[in-house]
A and B are shown apart, each in its own frame.
Chain A
Amino acid sequence: MRRWGRDLFSFLVGPRWAVIITAVMAAVALVGVVLPQLPPWAVGDPASVRAWLGEQERRLGPATPWLWRLGLLDVFRTPWFAAGLGLMVASLLAYSLSRLPGLYASIFRPRKWPPDVYFDMAPHRVEGWGRADVVTLVRGLRRRLYRVEVRRDGSIAYLFADRFPWAQAGTLLAHVAVVVLVLAAAVGRAEAFSIPLMVAEGQARPVFPTPTHPRQMEVEVTGAWARFDAQGLPLQYAAELAIFRQGEEVARCRVTVNSPCQYGGYRFHLAAYFGFGAEVMVKEASSGRAIYHETVALQMQRPAPYLRAWEDGTGRLAYEGAVALGNPIVTAQGLTSSLALLSVAGRDWALVLREGKGEATLLIADAQNLSRAVTLAPGEGASLGGVRWELVEVQKAPAAEVADVPIPLGQGEGLLLQMSNVAYGTGNVSQGGRVAVAGGEGPPTLIVLGLGDRPITLQPGEAAVVGPYEYIFLGQRAFVGIEVRRDPSVNLVWAGAALLVLSLVLIFWLPRRRLWARLREDGVCIVGQGEASMDLRRELGPLLQRAGVFLQQEVEEDG
C-alpha cells in the first residue's frame, strides 16, 4: 500500500504528467473559447437549454446535438473537465506538498554546525584577519534581527545566525496561490454571470429570460431619484428595489452606484438612470377598461421653441411655453422644417421652425392669412396681428414616437409624445449627456401629437377623451438600469490574490539571511545563504570592523 502511495505521489509530481495534463486542459479550454458555451443563466433550466440549443443550431448546423452530447457546448461544466481540473489541481498540490518536508527542515531544523570544509568551499563568504570580539559580533547581529547561537570548540568559536527563516515558505504560498486562482477561474467561468435590466419606476422585470427558470426572481423599481448640478450633470442617483421570488417579496433595499443590493448570492447594481419616461394609460371611454398602459421612454430630443406672447392692447401674457412641433420635413438642401398650430389670444397661428447650418428661425404666421408672418431668431421679438411675440430660445424636449397606442378610426398610425417642463436631466445620465430645461416652471407636461389637428397638453393625472378612448398622463417616471451579477469565485480571487501578494512580499522583500561564522585566533570566515544578489561584505563589513576584524576581499565562487 505504501509503495502504491509512493508511486501515485511520484506520478503526480512527475514533470511528464504535468506537461500532459497542462496541455490537455489548455486544449479543452481552447475548445471552450472557440465554440459557443451555454450561458450561466440557462443552467438548470431545461426550457432555457432547449431555446439556446435551437439558436445555436442556426450557427453550428446539424452537428449541434452531437456537440452538446459530447459536452463541447458546456465544456466547463462537464464531469470530464472537472476531473481534468481536479487532476491538475492535485498535481499542483502534490508538487507543493512534496516540497513541504524539505521546507520544514530548512525552516525549523537547519544545519547549524557544518564541517570546517564548508567554510573553505561555500559560495558567498567573507574572510578577515584579526581576533573577532564575539560579544560585539553577536550583539550586532541580534540588533539586525538575527537569532544567534554560539558554540565553542577550544579556541574556535562557531556562530549560527538566522533571520526570517520562514520567508522560505513564500514559494510554497505562491504555488498555493496559483492553485486557488486556477480554481477561481474555473468556478467563475462556469458560474459567474451578469444580466442587464432596464426597469421603469413602478414596474418589474424578471432576472432570467425564461419564466420557468428555477432561480427566477423579479426586480421591481419602487422609486428612483437623481440629483443634478446647475449644468444638468448628474451628481448622484439612487433607486429603491423590491426583489420577488415565487410571488413573494424577499428583499427590499435602496441602491446607489457604489452600494448594490444583495440577495441569495446575487448582487443588484445600479448602472444607469434615465429620467424621461411618461406613464400613459388609454381606456375605453364607454367601459372604463384599460386597453393600454405603458411607461414610454422619451429617448428622442426634439426642438421645442420656447415662446412668450402678449396681447398688444392689454399687455396680458397670453401664452408662455415650449411648443411641440410635428415631424420634421427635410429639404434637398438639408434644412429641416417642423410645423405646429397654436391657438393664442383667440386666434390660430401656424408656426414653422426651420433648422439648418447650425441656425434656427421660427416663422409665425396668421393661420387665416398666411401672408401675414414674422420670422424670429432666438432672442428676437416682433408684433403680428395684435400679439407681441418673443422667441426666447429653441430648447430640446424629450420625445418619442409610439406606434402601438390605440388610436380612433380616421387618425394616423402613431402618436408623438413630448414632455415639457421637465427638470434638468440628461438623455442618459450614465453617459453624461445633457438636455436643457424644456419649458418653464410647473409640473411635467405631456404633449400628444397625432390625435386631431391640435396637440393635446396633459399634466400629471389629467385625461383627454378623443373618440372612443380616454388618454391619461399618469406622470413622469424614471428608468433605472440594473445589473444583476453573480460570481461565486470572488472570494477565491481575493484569497488567491492575497496569497500571491504575501508570497511575493516574502520572496522579494523580506531580507532572509542565514549565516555561519568560524572565529579563530587568526581570522574570521563567514558564510552566508540568501538571495543570489546579496553582498555580505557590504552588509557585514562595518559590523566586522567594529568587532576588530580586517576584511579580505569577499570570495564568490560559482557552484
Chain B
Amino acid sequence: MRRTVIPLLTVVAIAFTIWWLEYRPRGGGGEALDAYGPVDLPPALATPDKEVAPREGALAPDFLLPTLDGKTVRLSDLRGKGVVINFWATWCPPCRKEMPQLVAAYQRYRNEGLEVVAVNVGEPEDRVRQFAEEFGMRFTVALDKIGAVARTYSLLGLPTTFFVDRQGVIRIVHAGAFKEQKGGIGVQEAIGASELEEGILQILR
C-alpha cells in the first residue's frame, strides 16, 4: 500500500508545485494602470436585447482613447452617427494601401453623418503624426499604445475595420484591406466600387 501511495503523492506534490509556480491565477494585470482603454457602455445607451461584443449584430464595446490632436475620443459619444473604426499601424502595408480610401470616404460622407476613428495600435505618437500628416488624415486618429482596445476587439491582424451604425450596433467586421477597383483609375473613382463604400452606406441608412 505504502509503495503505491508514496509515488502517487510524489506525483501530486510535484504537479501542484509546478502549477503553483507557473499556472496559478495572478492578481492584477501585467499592464500599467491607465485611464484610457476599454470602458463600460453608459447604461442609458445599453439595450437589454443586445450584448456588448466585438462581433456583427452586437453593440460595439465602448472605449476612451487619446487622439493625435491632444483631445480624447469616446465611442459612445458618437452615437447617432455612422462610425467606421479602423485598427491600423504605419508598418502594415495593407493599412497604408487602404488609408487613401478612408481619407476620400470621410471627405465624401462626413456631411452625411459619417465619423471615422482610425485607432493606431502600439506605435509612438511621432511616427503616427508624420504618417497622418502625409496622408491628410483629417478624421479622428486615436492612439491605443498598450493595445487594450485592440484586445477588447479581439483583433487577429491589421487592418481590421468595424462598421458601427447610428444605434451603436456593429454591422460589418472587415478583416484585411478593402478591395478597390483596379485598372488605373483615380482614388476618388475607386470609392464607387469598393467594399468600403458598401459598408459606409449600410451604416448611414
Binding site for B on A (CB under 8 A): 3-4, 7-8, 11-12, 17, 47, 50-51, 79-80, 82-83, 86-87, 90, 203-206, 209-212, 214, 216, 218, 220, 244, 246-249, 281, 284, 287-294, 404, 406-413, 468
Contacts and interface: CB of A to CB of B under 8 A. Distances in A.
Interface in B178-205: 182-187
B178 to A, nearest CB: 13
Q: Which of A12, A203, A284 has the most CB of B within 10 A?
A: A284
B186 A406 contact: yes
Interface stretch (B42-50, B92-100, B108-116): B92-100
Contact of A211 (B17, B136, B158): B158
Contacts of A47: 151, 154-156
A400 B53 CA distance: 44
Contact of A291 (B18, B123, B145, B187): B187
Contacts of A82: 15, 18, 22
Nearest 6 pairs between A and B by C-beta?
A247-B145, A289-B136, A83-B15, A291-B100, A290-B134, A86-B14
Nearest to B10: A8
A209 B155 CA distance: 11
A83 B122 contact: no
B123 A11 contact: no
A4 B135 CA distance: 75
Contacts of B182: 413
B150 A290 contact: no
A349 B115 CA distance: 54
Given A47-B155, A206-B91, 10 more contacts: A4-B2, A47-B156, A79-B15, A211-B121, A211-B157, A247-B145, A287-B136, A289-B100, A293-B134, A412-B184
B186 A409 contact: yes
B124 A248 contact: yes
A424 to B, nearest CB: 30
A212 B150 contact: yes
Contacts of A288: 136
Contacts of B134: 281, 289-290, 293
A211 B157 CA distance: 6
Interface in B7-56: 7, 10-11, 14-15, 17-19, 22-23, 30
A211 B122 contact: yes
A1 B123 CA distance: 60
A357 B12 CA distance: 75
A530 B75 CA distance: 82
Contacts of B71: none
For A17, A50, A290, the residue with the greatest tally of chain B CB atoms inside 10 Å of its CB is: A290
Contact of B19 (A79, A205, A292, A409): A79
Nearest to A247: B145
B89 interface: yes
A291 B102 CA distance: 11
A337 to B, nearest CB: 26
Contacts of A218: 91, 122-123
B10 A294 contact: no
B147 A216 contact: yes
Dominant SS among interface residues on chain A: mixed
A11 B4 CA distance: 10
Q: Which of A90, A204, A410, A468 is the most central at the interface, judged by chain B CB atoms within 10 Å of its CB?
A: A204
A409 B154 contact: no
A211 B89 contact: yes
Contacts of A406: 186-187
21 contacts: A7-B3, A17-B7, A51-B156, A87-B14, A205-B91, A206-B89, A206-B122, A211-B155, A212-B121, A212-B151, A218-B122, A220-B127, A244-B122, A246-B145, A247-B145, A289-B134, A292-B100, A293-B134, A293-B135, A409-B185, A411-B184
B89 A11 contact: no
B150 A294 contact: no
A491 to B, nearest CB: 19
A553 to B, nearest CB: 53
A90 B135 CA distance: 62
B146 interface: yes
A409 B157 CA distance: 33
B122 A246 contact: yes
A80 B15 contact: yes
A17 B87 CA distance: 55
Contacts of A83: 11, 14-15, 18
A402 to B, nearest CB: 12
A214 B30 contact: yes
Contacts of A51: 156-157
A293 B131 CA distance: 9
A90 B10 contact: yes
B143 interface: yes
Given A79-B18, A246-B147, A289-B103, A204 B91 contact: yes
Contact of A413 (B121, B183, B187): B183
A12 B13 CA distance: 14
Contacts of B17: 86
Contacts of B97: 292, 404
Most chain A Cβ neighbours within 10 Å, of B3, B91, B143, B157: B91
Contacts of A87: 10-11, 14
Most A CB contacts (10 A, CB to CB) among B17, B135, B184 go to B184
B143 to A, nearest CB: 7
B123 A247 contact: yes
A380 to B, nearest CB: 40
B10 A204 contact: no
B91 A247 contact: no
A411 B15 CA distance: 69
Which of B7, B19, B90 has the largest count of A CB atoms less than 10 A from its CB?
B7
Contacts of B184: 407-413
A189 to B, nearest CB: 15
A392 B42 CA distance: 75
A294 B145 contact: no
B116 to A, nearest CB: 15
Given A87-B14, A289-B100, A293-B96, A50 B124 contact: no
Interface in B103-142: 103, 121-125, 127, 134-136
A116 to B, nearest CB: 45
A206 B88 CA distance: 13
A7 B6 contact: yes
Given A4-B2, A11-B3, A211-B89, A246 B146 contact: yes
Given A289-B103, A294-B93, A406-B187, A8 B6 contact: yes
Nearest to B97: A404
Contacts of A291: 100, 135, 187
A503 to B, nearest CB: 27
A4 B6 contact: yes
B122 A216 contact: yes
B124 A244 contact: yes
Contacts of A11: 3, 6-7, 10
Nearest to A242: B124
Nearest to A216: B122
